[in-house]
């Protein structure tokens, strides 16, 4: 049973331009809670074209929500922005993706001094210990999963459906070096299926474990139904950060949004043959699975946990009333609270849709969302402290 308890919400960006943060697996807040990272666009409702700029900045929550621009990029998408995020070991510095001389790169920028350093590869996710990033082919991702990759760069593997020299790269942030740790060809050979033949394969949705020792990732490949419509299948894996000890976490064709709960466990909205699509709690290196809220959640969603792991935050895709819902689950009691409901405009093409992508503040008192329920795509903060303070 889901209890409606809508929480106070504040819009923290305004027009005439459009604003969003991006994905649910990163903190938009800095550690002090004063600044909120944001992306600013001149348009919405269509895909960015090669060369179109996105302005990057931060919202000063202590100065009338003033937007402070600090950079621009030409490597971005609607679902994940340019991977803008704070560095783990320096709250004054951010990292984000850009394009330079026809190749995607990443920039490390001190937002207060303007000092910048460029890395030779774009980044997807950072290790919690601040030492590494994971990288992939964003051109390939743009072709196969529009809305997640970037246009505009040269891709030497464009005509290679199962490349042996491209895949997951481990990037050393300090030394600006990288190493291919798992190729598309390697994972295809290890967990081969006949429907992987002569069809593009790619990687997506990468995350380090909290202790920075393991990674999780998706291998996806393109398939077509009997009517010739494109679709994709997904296998989910974990591995050591050097690409060794690969473990098949879920080989049942559908895995979607997930997060690490702790160093060994992952919650993932996925499909298992016995119980269908649910939130499953997986244990790395083990066949043990547990359903979280069996048949209680109406759709897939972007899930994460409060810092004390007492609350699970997630959202939904639009339901029958045309609205996204935002849910908080109290893990000890199993109670689910609907903390917000936000209308979705169904006319936007899929890659440009405005998912809510809820993100926690670092003190667990607030949730940030992207939403277009008032028309323009803007950022909002929901005060959830009346719930989370209960423990």
Over residues 25-52, the mean pLDDT reads 96
Task: Provide φ and ψ at 178, rounded to 5°.
Answer: -145, 155
Q: Domain ranges in the chain?
A: 19-305
The string of DSSP codes covering 103-152 is EEEEEEEETTT--EEEESS--SEE-TTSSEEEE--HHHHHHHSTTTS-SS
Q: How confident is the model at residue 1 (pLDDT cuts 50, 70, 90)?
A: confident
Over residues 10-38, the mean pLDDT reads 96
pLDDT at 57: 98
Judging by beta carbons within 10 Å of its beta carbon (0-12, 13-18, 19+), is residue 242 exposed, middle or buried?
A: exposed
| Cβ proximity of 120 and 176 under 8 Å | yes
pLDDT at 77: 97
pLDDT at 149: 97
Structure tokens that stand for 277 in this block: 């699509």
- Alpha-carbon distance of 223 to 110, in angstroms, equals 43
| pLDDT at 218 > cutoff 80 | yes
Structure tokens that stand for 346 in this block: 């169904």
- Alpha-carbon distance of 353 to 345, in angstroms, equals 8
Q: What does DSSP assign to residue 187? A: H
DSSP-derived 3-state class of residue 157: coil
- Alpha-carbon distance of 232 to 200, in angstroms, equals 10
pLDDT at 348: 86
Give domain 19-305's CATH number out of 3.30.465, 2.50.20, 2.130.10, 1.10.3470: 2.130.10
| pLDDT at 225 > cutoff 90 | no
pLDDT at 66: 98
Question: pLDDT digits over 259-314, tens only?
Answer: 999 999 999 999 998 899 999 999 999 999 999 999 999 999 999 999 999 999 99
Q: How confident is the model at residue 133 (pLDDT cuts 50, 70, 90)?
A: very high
Rounded to 5°, angle at Cα 22 from 110 and 292: 125
DSSP-derived 3-state class of residue 163: coil
- Alpha-carbon distance of 383 to 207, in angstroms, equals 27
Over residues 184-205, the mean pLDDT reads 97
pTM score above 0.85 = yes
- Alpha-carbon distance of 73 to 53, in angstroms, equals 5
């Amino acid at each position: 049973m889901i209890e409606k308890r809508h929480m106070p919400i504040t819009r923290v960006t305004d027009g005439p331009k459009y604003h969003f943060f991006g994905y649910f697996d990163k903190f938009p807040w800095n550690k002090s809670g004063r600044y909120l990272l944001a992306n600013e666009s001149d348009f919405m409702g269509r895909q960015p074209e090669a060369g179109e700029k996105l302005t990057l900045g931060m919202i000063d929550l202590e100065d009338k929500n003033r937007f402070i621009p600090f950079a621009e990029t030409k490597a971005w998408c609607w679902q994940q922005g340019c991977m803008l995020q704070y560095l783990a070991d320096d709250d004054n510095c951010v990292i984000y993706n850009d394009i330079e001389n026809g190749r995607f790169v990443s920039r490390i920028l001190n937002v207060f001094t303007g000092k910048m350093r460029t890395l030779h590869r774009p980044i997807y996710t950072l290790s919690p210990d601040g030492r590494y990033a994971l990288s992939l082919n964003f051109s390939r991702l743009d072709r196969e999963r529009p809305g997640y990759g970037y246009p505009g760069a040269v891709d030497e593997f464009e005509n290679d459906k199962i490349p042996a020299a491209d895949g997951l790269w481990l990037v050393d942030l300090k030394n600006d070096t990288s190493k291919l740790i798992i190729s598309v060809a390697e994972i295809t050979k290890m967990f081969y299926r006949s429907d992987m033949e002569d069809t593009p394969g790619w990687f997506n949705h990468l995350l380090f474990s909290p202790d920075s020792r393991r990674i999780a990732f998706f291998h996806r490949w393109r398939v077509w139904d009997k009517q010739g419509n494109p679709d994709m299948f997904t296998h989910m894996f974990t591995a050591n950060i050097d690409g060794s000890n690969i473990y098949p976490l879920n080989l049942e064709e559908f895995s979607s949004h997930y997060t690490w709960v702790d160093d060994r466990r992952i919650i993932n909205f996925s499909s298992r043959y016995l119980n269908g699509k649910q939130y499953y709690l997986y244990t790395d290196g083990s066949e043990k699975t547990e359903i979280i809220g069996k048949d209680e959640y109406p759709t897939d969603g972007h899930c994460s946990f409060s810092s004390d792991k007492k609350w699970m935050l997630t959202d939904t895709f639009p339901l029958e009333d045309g609205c996204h819902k935002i849910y908080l689950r109290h893990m000890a009691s199993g109670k689910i609270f609907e903390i917000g409901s936000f209308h979705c405009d169904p006319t936007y093409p899929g890659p440009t849709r405005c998912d809510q992508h809820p993100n926690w503040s670092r003190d667990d008192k607030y949730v940030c969302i992207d939403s277009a329920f008032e028309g323009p795509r803007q950022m909002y903060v929901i005060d959830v402290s009346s719930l989370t303070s209960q423990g």
